[in-house]
Amino acid sequence: MLIHVLLYEAGKETEGIHSLEIKGKTVVLMFENKEDAERYSVLLEAQDFPMPSVESIDRQEIEKFCNEAGYKARFIEKGFLPKTEEERMFLSPPVSNRDVVNWDKDDEITEKDQFVSESSKDLDLDAFRKRLEGLI
């Protein structure tokens, strides 16, 4: 079965796959629906992330890659509805992102990788508003 993932610099030596850090685990999103992956890609770009390309890859290949790398693969089915705060990140990227300028050289997790704390969520209403507008 083909799924859709978000790749940076696809086909180049510096190719990288988009992932999330959740509770100390690296999670790779596998979208069933190409349009969902494309929407997520646009939301990343709106947060000043480099624009990833949406690539179709065999699901077993990505799951094997994730297992070998110690990552967790998360399948996002068409019509997915989040049930938890963490699952909301599968539809819309978190407000704070990892610095991707040197993503392939940066093995340390910084404070920016962590979830936005409850108190700081209230401080960034403009960013939240922009995220909501992007969903419409």
pLDDT at 48 (0 to 100)? 84
Domain residue ranges of the chain, discontinuous segments joined by +: 2-135
pLDDT at 125 (0 to 100)? 57
pLDDT at 111 (0 to 100)? 34
pLDDT at 124 (0 to 100)? 53
Q: Residue ranges of the chain with pLDDT lower than 50?
A: 99-123
pTM: 0.67
Contacts (Cβ under 8 Å, ≥6 apart) of 14: 8, 104
Query: For residue 27, what are the β-bridge partners?
Result: 20, 72
Please tell me the distance from the alpha carbon of residue 22 to that of residue 44, in angstroms, as a whole number.
Answer: 17
Give residue for tokens 């290949």.
61
pLDDT at 130 (0 to 100)? 62
pLDDT at 85 (0 to 100)? 82
Count the residues in the chain. Answer: 136
pLDDT at 86 (0 to 100)? 84
pLDDT at 110 (0 to 100)? 37
Give residue for tokens 């069933």.
32
Please tell me the distance from the alpha carbon of residue 43 to that of residue 8, in angstroms, as a whole number.
Answer: 15
